[in-house]
Amino acid sequence: MASSAGVSPLTPFFLWWRTMVVRDREIVDAVVDPAHCGPSAELEQALSDWPGPHYWARGDGDGRLVLVRVLRPEPGERWPLHVLLFLATFFTVWMGGALLAGSALPLAFPFHVDFSIAPQLLVELLRELVTLREGLDFALGLMAILLAHEYGHYVVAQHYGINASPPYFIPAPPIVNFIGTFGAFIRLRSPIVDRQQLMDVGVAGPWAGFVVAIVVLLAGLSRSEVVSQVGASEQLVTLAQYQLYLGQSPIMYVARRLVVGEGTVLLHPLAFAGWIGLLVTMLNLIPLGQLDGGHILYALIGRRQASVSGLAWLLLVGVGFVAAARGSFWAGLVWWVWAAVILMMGRGRVAHAQVLDRYRPLPSNRQPVGWATLLLFIGTFTPVPVYYA
């Protein structure tokens, strides 16, 4: 139990309160006197002087108030590192976009890296960056999607007083990963108080990224073209001398039909960035462990998420076998690698870690948002992401 000196000016408004110190945060959980629920003008003034965020915990009795404050100065963020990683990732994604924009450079693919051509590839890509505008379109679109997703999480975490890092972007040389990045992430460095916090932080990233992905996808589809070849799916991109036929989600199917119509569509690099955005949204919304979908499902059903997660992980592995049978071994490998990454993130566990106040229910006004976000997972689900031809 922490000293209540910091909360003393507010205690006349409370019927009951408790304080907890968790790492560098003091968390005050209080029941407000009914005379001051609303809040009253006096309580509103007192809350304005509180040195941190606060919110009303709806659905856990009347007048439940949660306050958070930082107990000691936080170390400064390593902004030069974050900026450097962002710029490096933008550059490698731009290089990947140049390959997608029609570069005829030699590229060992898929997943068969020939490092002997790496110096030649780098020099030639640098030359083509300024001549292939579509490569820059791809970089701008994909980086906007990733940035929106991560800052969706970051902004809401800051709103709740959660100690969150700015996004870390992960560059990848196109010789290793042709899209130029392994994604981005933020670190949550203080615990989640309750399921309301978990829900709001969890849904913010996928929805922010999805909105940007839809804008990018529709803009890119308007610049895509119908081609005569028939392949494993109705949409493809070209990469050097290779053709990659892409799987489709229900949302991708509807968007393509609305904008382009029937036929096989050669996606503009900007449309491909939007397609990747939908895929990233889907992968993050799988209801497992520390993924966004795991956060959301735990917020919705609490500890019962542990039972669902075990089954979901087995289904994830099973989808890999379906993808391998319908597409190729590489298509199945996407799911198997993701299943392994989830296990590593959870240190061998697929159940979600408990929040501090695991007994506080999720407010009823958050439940439709949670279920709608899980429906978004279905709308973006792509069982076979890529067919190799």
Query: Are residues 195 and 255 both part of a single domain?
Result: yes
pLDDT band at 115 (very low <50, low <70, confident <90, very high): low
* Residue 110's pLDDT band (cuts 50, 70, 90): very low
Give residue 80's pLDDT.
94
353 vs 15, 38, 343, CA distance in Å? 31, 33, 13
- Looking at the chain, the whole-number percentage of residues with pLDDT higher than 90 is 49
Residue 3 is assigned to a structural domain of this protein: no
355 lies in some domain: yes
pLDDT digits (tens, 9 = 90+) for 344-360: 887 777 777 888 888 88
Mean pLDDT of the chain: 87
In b/e form, how buried is each residue of 279-305, taking b as 16+ CB within 10 angstroms? Answer: bbbbbbbbbbbbbbbbbbbbbbbbeeb
CB hemisphere CA count around 52 (13 angstroms): 21
In a domain? residue 220: yes
Nearest to residue 127, comparing CAs of 110, 105, 145? Answer: 105
Strand 25-32 to 54-56 pairing: unpaired
The total of structural domains in the chain comes to 2
H helix intervals, the chain: 41-48, 79-100, 118-129, 133-159, 195-221, 250-259, 269-284, 292-301, 305-326, 329-345, 367-380
Q: What is the pLDDT of residue 270?
A: 95
Q: Same domain for 126 and 235?
A: yes
**Length of the chain measured in residues:** 389
Most confident listed range (84-98, 241-255, 269-283, 356-370): 269-283
Chosen domain end from 70, 90, 114: 70
Q: Are residues 61 and 121 in the same domain?
A: no
pLDDT at 2 (0 to 100): 43
How far, in Å, CA of 48 to CA of 319, rounded? 51
- 24 lies in a domain? yes
Which residues form the domain of 215? 79-388
- Do 205 and 336 lie in one domain? The reply is yes
With cut-offs at 50, 70 and 90, classify the pLDDT of residue 118: low
Going by pLDDT thresholds of 50, 70 and 90, the confidence category of residue 22 is confident
Q: State the pLDDT at residue 328.
A: 75
Q: What is the pTM of this model?
A: 0.88
β-partners of residue 70 are: 25
Q: Is residue 184's pLDDT more than 70? A: yes
224 & 356 share domain: yes
Q: Do 63 and 84 share a domain, yes or no?
A: no
Q: Are residues 90 and 55 part of one domain?
A: no
Both 96 and 202 in a single domain?
Answer: yes
Q: Is the same domain home to 55 and 88?
A: no
Query: Is residue 59 in some structural domain?
Result: yes
Asked if residue 2 is part of any domain, the answer here is no
Torsion of CA 109, 114, 115, 121, to 10 degrees: -60
Same domain, 90 and 54: no
1 lies in a domain? Answer: no
Q: 293 with 199, same domain?
A: yes
95 in the same domain as 54: no
pLDDT top residue among 188 and 3? 188
Q: Which position has the higher pLDDT, 306 or 182? A: 182
pLDDT band at 114 (very low <50, low <70, confident <90, very high): low
| pLDDT tens profile 35-64 | 998 788 999 999 998 999 999 988 766 789
